[in-house]
Amino acid sequence: MTILPAARGAGAEPSNTIPAVVLGGTGYVAGELLRLLSTHPHFKVGAVLSDSQPGEPLAEAFPHLAAACGDTRFASQAEVQQFMTRSPRCALFCAAPHGVSAQLIDSLLSAASAAGTCPRVVDISADFRFSSAAAYEAVYKHPHGAPARLPEFTCAVPEHLGKLETAHVAHPGCFSTATLLASVPLLSLGLIAPTLFVSGVTGSTGAGRKPVAGTHHPLRHSDLYAYNALSHRHAPEIEACARAASGVEAQFAFVPHSGPFARGIHVTVQAQLKKPLDTGGLLAALREFYAGSPFIRVASSAPRVKDVATTNYAHLSAAANGRTVAVMCAIDNLNKGAAGGAVQWMNRMWDLPQTSGLTATAPGWT
């Protein structure tokens, strides 16, 4: 069984330790999950699925995690299923590609249910971000892999949902997380007209590990360019999450950009104010909205990607001129926008402090 030694056998872990499974094991997000889980006080990795590299050492795929991975090897789906069916409780993180995650999760949950075990799932792919198969299929142009599972998932950023009513969570994704953190307060407080214009810049890791022209360093270095302007597939996801979080039907005109850096996302959200408001009043409204959110910092100075890179923190700032508002948000795409947000959700799902394992600050000079 290709699992960490600490997870072998009954009673190998303290009673407050929850075994974790990571699916989609060789990608950037999976690597970030493994990094976060390696120092988490309550979750301990038990199995890491890679259909492409079963039996291969994790350290070969993630040399920077060699000290944490030891001799652990990737598991096959059969081995992961065996691990889950003999673990009474389990935290399942899915970083598999969209179009693959739904069937994989469905299969593992069905096996766990038959064995009487109770895993909780956070899916970081897009497969459970919509409430209906039709909405998913309209965006992704293929049938949903497990439509009967959709009611078991809620899609939201942790800061925007007080009580989770479903067994599992779908993470909104990196561009969506940054955009929602900037825009949901404006909509919820009734400050703006419900048409928002979003300009976002992402680092190259947002495109995944497999090299393509858009992420090839000689093409991306020292350059900046837009892509899929007003037609990006995350726009419908943003609108659905914003509606669920604020109760407002809003339209988002989204223009993403590729930036010449590896990690991070910076978005600027602009909208028309319903009534006059100055910058001070806007910042005060944002601070009050996020008063109970330990990972959100609202400041008068502009947010910078380097100040949040590698962390689960989000930095926001804003400006208003009486007629128009602009809210800026910087996050790390692999952490707050993916793996860190997933761990934050899983902390909540297991009644742990939501900050557990996530309070490391940015290195600053990446």
- Please give the DSSP secondary-structure letter assigned to residue 59: H
Query: Residues 160, 334, 171, 202: is their CA dihedral positive or negative?
Result: positive
Label the pairing between strands 153-155 and 195-202. unpaired
The one catalytic residue in 69, 94, 174, 329 is 174
155 carries an active-site annotation: no
Q: How many C-beta neighbours within 10 Å does residue 360 have?
A: 15
For the record, the structure tokens of 216 come out as 């090839």
Report the C-alpha dihedral over residues 28, 29, 31, 32, rounded to 10 degrees. 120
Report the C-alpha dihedral over residues 280, 285, 286, 290, rounded to 10 degrees. 140
d(CA 133, CA 49): 26
Cβ pair 229, 257 in contact under 8 A = no
d(CA 181, CA 198): 12
Cβ pair 309, 353 in contact under 8 A = no
Sequence-separated (6 or more) residues with CB below 8 Å from residue 107: 77, 81
Torsion-angle region of 262 (φ positive above 0: left; ψ -120 to 50: alpha; else: beta): alpha
Strands (DSSP E) contained in 129-203 are 153-155, 168-170, 195-202
d(CA 343, CA 38): 12
Active site residues: 174
